[in-house]
Amino acid sequence: MKILVVGSGGREHALCWAISRSPLCKTLYCAPGNAGIKEMATLVPIGAEDVDALEKFAVEQKIDLVVVGPEGPLVAGLVDRLDAAGIKAFGPSAAAARLEGSKGFMKDMVAKAGIPTAAYGRFTDAEAAKTFIRKNGAPIVVKTDGLAAGKGVVVAMSEQEALTAVDQMMTGKQFGDAGDELVIESFLPGEEASFFAIVDGKTALPLIAAQDHKRVGDGDTGPNTGGMGAYSPAPVATADVQQKIMDRCVTPLVKTMAEAGTPYRGVLFAGLMIENGEPTLLEYNVRFGDPECQVLMARLKSDIVELLLAACEGKLAGHKVEWSEDPAMVVVMAAAGYPGSYKKGGVIGGLDKANAVPGVKVLHAGTGFDASGNVVATGGRVLGVTAAAPTLAEARERAYKAVDLLEWEDGFCRRDIGWRALG
């Protein structure tokens, strides 16, 4: 098969890594890819949201399967365009991708399906939003309705913090048009976890859970990011809890989406709060998490291409997914200043040494090449140092050993990834 992966981040490197292991994959392309992906796929210089050019390339090259990594092209309708051109594409339609493209739509769909979630309000007027905050008090959560690269969420511990967030998002256009509408919801106690399932429109096949680290600093301090590290399995998501997630948060959503005429196909990412063994939905995403995808692909034993094809063809029923018993952890290396303004262009050395650590794979998220062929940083989150081992403690030891072998003066990472599970 000829397969095209769309995207350039750590998630896409992890997907390429898994897809390249499949005997079904004969030729692998990635658009636009990064310096790490170049080792296993032919890079195509087309941006992930250039829907016209991606469709043209897929048709001209007779691509058998397109795997869309990020949310942007999904919301923009890339899968619809490829379907119309007769090309199999893994991911939801634009109508179904509104689950992530509009948090308001998602909350309304969740309410319709009877899925346990936080109480909420939707606002297009700043003063109305502030009135809601003053009425309900803090802690309270303020979210942009539209896409904001995982950063359009403020968990406000004071009323003033929430009011300031409204001004920044809606009036100050901190996240552009994404803040034209806000969703404000009650604060949910508990421990956060991410759960994934592959869906073919009617059947949902459970994958596994992971835990992300959203805040930029140790001890979960500082602003939210796209994710500074993750690990799997997540002790808080026991087998019993994962069954509850499927029964309460995945299966009802898939049924409701189908009944609404927008069947969901692709990977469904449920962000949850879990307290005393009871899961409550925070939000859905319509793609693999980044960095959670890195640890999922490190543990996956099944042929991912078989699973993706079955989802595209509506044939997931009867499939099972095999996982390694070994836990996995990813530590994200970010550029100085991230998630604010960050440095670009710094040369990254020591990659071979880091990759030589047993059980380690350094996955690239924001890298390219300079004129001399050196690997350089091009993004905010730049590397995902991923390690698997017989225990989570050993995986963490291996990951940080590899981190310390990297030679990149502008890079930093959190030093406490896995603290919930390991202390």
Q: pLDDT tens digits for 290-314?
A: 999 999 999 999 999 999 999 999 9
Average pLDDT over residues 100-104: 91
- Report the distance separating Cα 193 and Cα 188, nearest Å: 13
SS3 of 377, please? strand
Q: What is the mean pLDDT of residues 348-370?
A: 98
- Per the rule left: phi > 0, alpha: psi between -120 and 50, beta: everything else, 88 is beta
pLDDT at 7 (0 to 100): 98
Closest CA relative to residue 211, chosen from 224, 195, 185, 193: 193
Q: How far apart are CA 398 and CA 386, in angstroms?
A: 9
pLDDT in tens, 149-167: 767 888 899 999 999 999 9
Q: What domains sit in the chain, N to C, each tagged with a CATH number?
A: 2-93 (3.40.50.20), 119-186 (3.30.1490.20), 191-312 (3.30.470.20), 328-422 (3.90.600.10)
pLDDT digits (tens, 9 = 90+) for 70-97: 999 999 999 999 999 999 999 999 999 9
| Calpha distance 294→259 (Å, rounded) | 33
Q: Does residue 323 sit in helix, strand or coil?
A: strand
Tell me if the bond preceding 32 is cis, omega within 30° of 0: yes
* Cα(53)–Cα(62) distance, integer angstroms: 14
Residue 276: is it exposed, middle or buried by C-beta count within 10 angstroms (0-12/13-18/19+)?
exposed
**Token pair for 223:** 């602003």
Give mean pLDDT, residues 99-118: 93
| Helix, strand, coil percentages, rounded to 5, for the chain | 35, 30, 40
pTM, to two decimals: 0.93
282: phi then psi, degrees, rounded to nearest 5: -90, -55
SS3 95: helix
Alpha-carbon distance values, 116 to 102, 265, 280 (Å): 19, 22, 5
The predicted model gives 170-197 an average pLDDT of 93
